[in-house]
Structure 1
Amino acid sequence: MKLNTVNKSATKPNQKKMVLAIAIALASSTASFSSLAADPTDQKVVATANATSTQESDLLTLYRQAALSDPVFNSAKYNYIAGKEKLWQGFSVLTPQVTAVGSETKNNLTRKGETEVPLKSRAWSVRLTQPLFNWDKWEQFRQGDLATSIAEAQYAAAEQDLVLRVTEAYFNVLNAQDTLNLSRNKKTLIKEQLEQAKRNFEVGTATITDTHEAQSRYDLVVAQELAAEADLLIKRSALEQLTGSNIGNLKSLSSQAKIEIIAKERKIKLKNNQKPSKINIENAVAVQPNQDIQGWIKQAEDVSYTIIASKLAYEIAQKDTNRAIAGHAPSIDLIAQRGYNDSESGGIGVNYRAYSSQASIQVTIPLFSGGYTQSVVREKSALASKALADYENTRRSVAQATRQAYLGFTSGLAQVKAYEAAEISALSALDSNKLGYEVGVRINIDVLNAQDTLFTTRRDLAKSRYDTILNGLKLKAQASVLSDEDLQAVNALLK
């Protein structure tokens, strides 16, 4: 959407489209994730959460825990609950306002040279005011409707953000575990190579250089192991911060996992009651012409929760300007009142009782406010321009994030395949160097270098798998099509 296409004449149609998009998006997202984010009062869920420290946890289990205890998500949930009240608050200003006032007064009346005379009076009144024409209140009502829609979009975005944060933290732990395990395996093999180098030196078949090189590699891998242990503790604590409890052992990603399934089906949001179409993205080199990156960017720009919220915030800012302009406009109210008044005097015997009823149409016309109204109009107009600039920045940011996620996923698929091939080659190279070292055509450092290559390749392969899956989820989140099915698909890759 170009900037110059966002104007007052397009506000009402655009608003309807935005609200429709939110309703559709929430119907997909809220209904989907509600099956995973369980009710906090569910005793079974609480029992499951308490038992996770004694058994292996998977991604779905930890997501359910995070949905109950993550402060960021809980903040978004209560913000949504509070935001829904904006609709009723905006509607209330158009409904009748009824007030009742009652009073009782006691006076002592004294004239010069006379005795004190007590005087009592009582009164009550009920007043109803119904706005007939008030531009300011009408715009306030429409703002309440838009504010509720913003709360809904922000909550839907928070649901998807929780999926991404839990998945990323989960994979960070797995990656740290892989790094630690590889360091330990590497230390074991290097230790064996060091002992063999020492034996060969003792019998005179190798030089002291081989022993020193192996010792140097061994000392280095010990330091790497210590760093990996510390990093694992940090990554686990980050995941526990989301779940609010001990995470226990985690299921790892299967080495035979088919990562392509994570973004295989791109679901298009319903528009005008049309059925969603499915687009397959198999891998980085087999993308159909109508399934390119621009299609994902267009999808994100149309229904991204972040963009919807920003667009609605701009419309609210426009209505703030309208409310300021309404300070110059007249207002018309219907006023109906019923009252009662009585008074009595104990000394002079005067009693008075009366009921009164009245109805009127009141017209209020602002004439002069010392320049305050004009100043507010200029202020709100500038804030509306700011909101429009923020909307454009959000649109561009979402487009860039979608582009990065798409390229990260598609290139990640190719990297995984390349690393899988490189792992096979590195393993063959290690076996060859070991055999060559035994027959005397290779030296010890050749074997150590081959081991380093194999372990580095395996570490990079594991990380590439995690990054590819995460980018696939981010891509769907930007296009507002991330659902519990995607989380279950990722969970199915764990073992």
Structure 2
Amino acid sequence: MRKPLIAVLMSSAFVSMTCSLQAQAADLIQVYQQALANDAQYASARAALSAGMERVPQGLAGLLPQVSASGSNTRGDNEQIIQNQGGNKITSPSVNVRTNSYNLTLAQPLFRWDRWETYQQSKLAQAIAEAQFAQVQQDLITRVAQAYFDVLSAQDNLGATQSQKVATTEQLASAKRNFEVGTQTITDTHEAQAAYDLVVAQEFAAINDLANKRSALQTIIGEAPANLAAMRAGVVLSAPQPATVEPWVSSAEEQNFGVVTAQFNVESAKRDIGRNRAGHYPTLDLIANAGHTYSSGGGTGSGNNNNAIGVQWSIPIFSGFAVTSKVRESIALENKARNDLETARRSASQNARQAFLGVNSGMAQVKALEAAEVSSKSALESNQLGYQVGVRINIDVLNAQKQLFSTQKDLSKARYDTIMNGLRLKAAAGTLKETDLVPVNALLDR
């Protein structure tokens, strides 16, 4: 009675520990929150956005009044030297002279086309920073999801390999027993031993691969990942909506953040042409000045105030062809920006098409592999029964086991790839948001 009681207690403890680990398993949303707090790339992009938000105040500053104040306080000795008719020089007593002055100047641009274009460019620069940050946000979602499912795939691979190892171990023991009693040949034993040695090597590779995948996830979230919630068995994946590729491609060509950034770059390049052409334009400024000077020495003092207001203009005549060269350069850069925009549109369109096809082909592959899993299980059971009655040999059972475990691994990977293609499809279309992780997270066994 004592041994069964101990076995029951150990079994209960194991079940409790397993349930505790399952309860503490981190899901995709929790891992994404960790990435938001700790991912270095995301933090860098957030800092770049903060820097980009300062471009507008800097551009506006060139259109606002510029006020400056200056002053001086000097002290010196003044000696007067007089030469008389006899050629003798007479030096007057030294007089200590002090001079205090200050000047306040205000300059308000009235017409400076280059500064106006710079201000408009600063708005575009801020919009570019916002679009680039949105792109990084989408990239973070896909990077976290990919790293998460890479870990799950590596765990599935390791689990299938270990299950195959257990089955191969049992088959090896059976082959040895049958050989000892003379019902099978040594060939069966050697085949089982070879299969066992191979699966042991595969297990070491699977353990190393899992460690690498967990390390990749750690790079994103900044700490060693906890136990991850696995995919629920028999999940049903949803097809993309809309179900045709054209709306996705159209959205990608207009809303993809890479395309949006390229569009802003084209507009900025246009403004740069106007800014450089302004080198031929006159400038006009309102100038106001208030100054005061006071000097004292020898018991006397005098001072004066100088106040003035007016306009100051300047007309460029010749600058050594520098302005013309800069205009030609900016026109060439605008042409480059237009071609970059076309490249971005084509790339976004291609990514959307590939992701759409990936989702649909992935769902078809999942259905086929689900059917293959059922068939593989039936084939394994038939081979095991045939092995017991002597109509199948050991290698038949080993091959059937290998086929089943391989099918299960391929099925899990097909599900992960289909989910990732769905996220990439939304990213290519420029519509991927944090809320899109919620339905994916619902597929996990939390």
Query: Shared fold (TM-score greater than 0.5)?
Result: yes
- Hey, what does 2:176 align to over in structure 1? 198
Q: Trace 1:231-250 onto structure 2 (pairs within 5 A).
A: 231-250=209-228
Per-residue CA deviation, residues 231-263 of structure 1 (Å, 9 max, x unaligned), is 101110111111112211110011222221xx6
Deviates more, 1:107-116 or 1:484-493: 107-116
Aligned pairs for 1:353-392 (under 5 A) are 353-392=303-342
8 Å CA contact retained: 2:142, 2:423: yes
Aligned to 2:276: 324
Out of 74, 79, 101, the residue aligned to residue 43 of structure 2 is 74
Three-state SS of the structure 2 residue aligned to 1:95 is coil
Distance 2:290 2:264 in 1: 43
Is 1:491 matched up with 2:441? yes
> Is residue 419 of structure 1 aligned with residue 369 of structure 2?
yes
CA distance in 1, matches of 2:332, 2:78: 60
Distance 1:386 1:119 in 2: 65
Match of 1:439 among 384, 389, 413: 389
1:6 alignment counterpart? none
Q: CA deviation at 1:78?
A: 1.0
Q: Is the 8 A contact 1:99 1:127 kept in 2?
A: yes
| Aligned residue in 1 for 2:63 | 94
* Maintained 8 Å contact 1:342/1:351: yes
Deviation, 1:111, is 2.7
CA apart distance, 1:350: 4.5
| Structure number with larger C-alpha Rg | 2
Once the 2 structures are TM-superposed, how far is the Cα of residue 54 of structure 1 from its aligned partner? Answer: 9.7
Q: How far off is 1:116 after superposition? A: 2.2
What is the number of residues matched between the two proteins?
416
Residue of 237, 241, 245 corresponding to 1:259: 237
Q: Where does 1:31-430 land on structure 2 (aligned, <5 Å)? A: 55-112=24-81, 113-260=91-238, 264=240, 280-281=241-242, 287=243, 292-344=244-296, 346-347=297-298, 349-430=299-380
Which deviations, in whole Å up to 9, do the C-alpha atoms of 1:20-69 show, x marking residues without a partner?
Answer: xxxxxxxxxxxxxxxxxxxxxxxxxxxxxxxx999311111111111011
Going from structure 1 to structure 2, the CA distance change for 1:350 and 1:382 (only over 3 Å counts) comes to: farther
Structure 1 distance, partners of 2:96, 2:253, is 77
C-alpha separation in 1, matches of 2:322 and 2:172:
84
Q: What CA deviation, in whole Å up to 9, does each residue of 1:401-444 have, x standing for no partner? A: 11111111111111111110110011111111111111121111
**1:413/1:468 contact within 8 Å kept:** yes
Deviates most, 456-465 or 192-201:
192-201
Task: State whether structure 2 residue 421 is matched by structure 1 residue 452.
Answer: no
Equivalent residue for 2:419? 469
CA contact (8 A) 2:154 2:213 kept: yes
Q: Is the Cα contact below 8 Å between 2:348 and 2:429 reproduced in 1?
A: no
Question: Contact 1:102–1:124 at 8 Å: present in 2 too?
Answer: yes
The alpha-carbon deviation at position 469 of structure 1 amounts to 0.4
Distance (whole Å) between structure 2 residues aligned to residue 485 and residue 82 of structure 1: 27
- The equivalent of 1:271 in structure 2 is none
C-alpha distance in 1 between matches for 2:183 and 2:165: 24
Q: Distance in 2 between the 1:401 and 1:468 partners?
A: 15
Q: What is the identity, as a one-letter code, of the residue corresponding to 1:395?
A: R
Does the CA-based 8 Å contact 1:53-1:247 persist in structure 2?
Answer: no
Q: How far apart in 2 are the matches of 1:484 and 1:88?
A: 31
Q: Which runs of 4+ in 1 moved over 6 A?
A: none
Looking at structure 2, the residues matched to 59 and 116 of structure 1 have their Cα atoms a distance apart, in angstroms, of 88
Q: Structure 2, unaligned stretches of length 5 or more? A: 1-20, 82-90
Is contact 2:283–2:314 with CA below 8 Å preserved after alignment?
yes
The sequence identity of aligned pairs, in percent, is 49
Residue identity opposite 2:443 in structure 1: L
CA distance in 2 between partners of 1:259 and 1:330 (Å): 66
CA gap of 1:54–1:494, structure 2 versus 1, over 3 A, is closer
Which one-letter code corresponds to 1:231 in the other structure?
A: D
**Contact kept in structure 2, 1:54 and 1:248, CA below 8 Å:** no
Q: SS where residue 98 of structure 1 aligns? A: strand
Amino acid at match of 1:436: G
Distance 2:381 2:234 in 1: 23
- Partner amino acid, structure 1, of 2:214: R
Secondary structure in 1 matching 2:109: strand
Q: CA RMSD in A?
A: 1.6
In 1, Cα distance between equivalents of 2:261 and 2:181: 76
SS of the aligned residue for 1:466 comes to: helix
